[in-house]
């Protein structure tokens, strides 16, 4: 799941349901923006963003549940992945099965800090064979 940052919101709602959804989206957007700026303040490379058709997306897996900032494993893995990888390649790395983790994708084992960091470091190794 990715979060799309869209700075324009539809403020004309036709029903109470739409009004509740709009209010919920505003609250979610405000919380997300707060977390985003907190993460960006931590430094370059601390957060993964993807550009597509002039929109910037932030994969939701990198944020801890409950608005508790970016997951430390994601931050460390981004720092360990090779600099030559694009943001899209990094995103695909996080969601793809990984042999260094015995099969699961890094996104599925974020609680295994050491394993995910080791897998990220292996990504930069030369392939021989």
DSSP per position, 26-83: HHHHHHHHHHHHHHHHT-TTSS--EEETTEEEEEGGGBPTTT--B-HHHHHHHHHS-T
Domain ranges of the chain: 2-122
| Per-residue confidence band for 26, with pLDDT thresholds at 50, 70 and 90 | low
Give the global pTM. 0.68
Q: What does the pLDDT look like over 69-103, one tens digit per residue?
A: 778 899 899 999 999 999 899 999 999 999 999 99
């Amino acid at each position: 799941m990715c979060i799309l940052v869209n700075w324009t919101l539809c403020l004309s709602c036709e029903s109470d349901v739409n009004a509740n959804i709009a209010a919920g989206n505003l609250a979610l957007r405000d919380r997300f923006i707060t977390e985003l700026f907190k993460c960006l303040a931590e430094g370059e490379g601390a957060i993964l963003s993807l550009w597509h058709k002039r929109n910037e997306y932030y994969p939701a897996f990198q944020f801890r549940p409950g608005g508790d900032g970016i997951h430390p494993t994601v931050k460390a893995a981004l720092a360990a992945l090779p600099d030559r990888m694009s943001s899209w390649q990094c995103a695909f790395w996080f969601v793809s099965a990984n042999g260094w983790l015995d099969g699961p994708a890094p996104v599925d084992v974020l609680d295994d800090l050491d394993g995910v960091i080791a897998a990220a470091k292996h990504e930069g190794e030369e392939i021989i064979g």
